[in-house]
Amino acid sequence: MSKVKNGVLLMLLVSALTACGNKDSAGSDTPAASGKAIEFVTTQDSSPLIINAALFDTPAAKEFLATGKNPYIGNAEAEAKGKKIFQLYSCTQCHGPDAKGQVGPGLVGPTFKYPKDATNKGMFETIWHGTNGGMGAKGVGLMDPTDPKNGITPDELLKVIAWIRTQGTVTGNE
């Protein structure tokens, strides 16, 4: 009887291991595993910044995840939405209604406090995960959970950045 029980346990164990194996091979279809995703780093200390790929849920956000380029640059409709989102998340209060600075610094360049903010990937990382010098993370799931807005999505952030770029001469996609 106990032999049978052991056999059943062994079968369960084998099928559990096989299931894990299947999961791993399915996982290799994700952009990160197939090498099609850029790797994000924090602006604080350049350590790896893991952002759930599922949050990149629009064609533009997926393209950004694959290439690091912001597809909304030069897209007037997206830029207009970005301006509204900039107001909604109170960016205006610190960076001014034209993003040229108020309590916080100007965001239009051509020089930036964090030089990587001259690229759209760099600016995305800075806004998503915040800085050590006075700006908290704005990414969804990272922003103050008591804030009813609960954080900006990748697609929204790309629109915000596209609008910020209209205020200066740097497009960030060079």
SS3 of 2-61? HHHHHHHHHHHHHHHHHHHHHHHHHHCCCCCCCCCCCCEECCCCCCEECCCHHHCCCHHH
Kindly tell me which of 6 and 46 has the beta carbon lying closer to ligand HEC: 46
Asked if 95 is part of the footprint of ligand HEC (rule: CB under 6 A), the reply reads yes
Nearest to ligand HEC by Cβ — which residue? Answer: 133
Task: Report in angstroms how near the CB of residue 64 gets to ligand HEC at its nearest.
Answer: 16
Applying CB under 6 A, the span of 22-30, 34-42, 61-69, 120-128 interacting with ligand HEC comes to 120-128
Give the other-Cβ count within 10 Å of 150's Cβ: 13
Q: What are phi and psi of 66, to 5 degrees?
A: -80, -35
Binding-site size for ligand HEC (CB under 6 A) equals 24
Answer for the pair 127, 140: CB distance below 8 angstroms, yes or no. no
Q: Strands, E, within 104-156: which ranges?
A: none
For residues 26-85, which are near ligand HEC according to CB under 6 A?
A: none
Asked if 146 is part of the footprint of ligand HEC (rule: CB under 6 A), the reply reads no
- Sites of contact with ligand HEC (CB under 6 A): 89-91, 93-95, 104-105, 107, 112-114, 117, 123, 126-127, 131-135, 138, 152, 160
